[in-house]
Amino acid sequence: MLASGGGCRDMSIRSSCTLGVASGLLRKVRGSATLLAVAMSAPMLALQPAAAADCQSSPYAKVDWTECNKSLLMLGGSDLSGANLTDVDFTSTDLREANLAGANLEKATLVRASLAGAQADKANFARIEGYRTSFAGISAQGASFASAEMQRADFSQANVTGSDFQKAELGRANFAKATITGTKFPMANLSRAELRGAVFEGPIDFTNAFLFLTRIGGLDLSKATGLQQSQIDLTCGDKATKLPTGLKAPATWPCKLDTDDVP
């Protein structure tokens, strides 16, 4: 019989008893080793890098091109809707007529790229570099261009209804004949920007926007919000410019058109 302490007293069954005890101990050792291996591997699994972006793939909806180099390419008409294009280099790339609806282009480089005629409703262009980028005719309704660098960008005939340009750099940008209904420009730099011929109904937010020599000739800004007299005094309007109640045209209108003011 087995003793209360787990020993083997009966000689006739001592061998089998010993084997049973040894087997139990082995199982415990193996179990402890397995737990130790799992515990040691957990931090290593946590340190495994995330799946790499698919930089070599052709464009398709929801593709992940994070931090990929896609400069100097012909991607016109491509479907990049919902794509992750964060920090992608699109320098001088042709994205005309591309579908960028809902795509995330935050911090992307779009210097001298063309997005003319693209569909980019609700896309994220926050903090992009877009010097001399063409957004002509783009549909970017409800898109974000917050803190973007877009000096001399071309938004002519674009539809940016309800878009957010907060803190965007838009020096000499061209919004001629663009639809800017409900667009927000708080703290944006619109110095020497072209707004003449822009189409809009309802309010536009110019709170703390920098409007040095901004071309507002012929615009009805009577429903614009956030405008102060100090801002208007820096702009370039004309007799057809309408201002919100309480603001008046400065004596310096019309501004002399300098060839360097052309976007």
**Residue 68 within a domain:** no
Tell me the residue range of the domain where 28 lies. 12-46
- At residue 36, does pLDDT exceed 60? no
* Omega cis (within 30) before 254: yes
pTM: 0.79
Average pLDDT over residues 6-10: 47
Local structure of 150: helix, strand or coil: coil
In a domain, 2, yes or no: no
Cα angle at 259 between 256 and 168, to 5 degrees?
90
Q: Is 202 inside a domain boundary? A: no
Domain count of the fold of the chain: 1
Asked if residue 22 belongs to a domain, the reply is yes
The predicted pLDDT at position 30 comes to: 54
Q: For the chain, report the end-to-end CA distance as a whole number of angstroms.
A: 101
Whether the CB-CB separation of 105 and 85 falls below 8 Å is answered with: yes
Q: Tens digits of per-residue pLDDT, 151-169?
A: 999 999 999 999 999 999 9
Residue 35 lies in a domain: yes
Span 231-240, average pLDDT:
95
pLDDT at res. 35: 39
Residue 189 lies in a domain: no
Question: Where do the H-state alpha helices sit in 143-257?
Answer: 229-232
